[in-house]
Amino acid sequence: MEWDELDPEPLFSTIREEAPAADAERMIWALEHILAAGRIDPILLDHFAAAAVCGLAYRDGETPRTILAQLARRSIDDEAWQREYAQLLPPSAELH
């Protein structure tokens, strides 16, 4: 994936259209930081994900495994991802 050439605006526009304003801006802020990390070194995304899960576990008094299970239950299904969001970003060889 060419992180420096990625245009996140179509994704950001969709998020702004579908989420409450404050939630949308928080998500966009987080995605901007993830994209910045991906541009530095895509391996950093693994560390961001682990750090976020551990932070949520600490905040909620849970374990990382419990947090991951909760996130999996709340996430959109694979078909909705493919149909609505994946097309907003360029294809990535890592996803196929």
In a domain, 50, yes or no: yes
Q: What is the pTM of this model?
A: 0.79
List the one residue out of 15, 43, 47 whose CA is nearest residue 29.
15
Write down the pLDDT at residue 75: 92
The domain total for the chain is: 1
54 assigned to some structural domain: yes
Q: What is the pLDDT of residues 37-78, one digit of tens each?
A: 999 999 999 999 999 999 999 999 999 999 999 999 999 899
Residue with tokens 């939630």: 23
Which structure tokens are listed for 59? Answer: 């905040």
Q: Is residue 13 part of a domain?
A: yes
Distance CA(86)–CA(63), nearest Å, equals 29
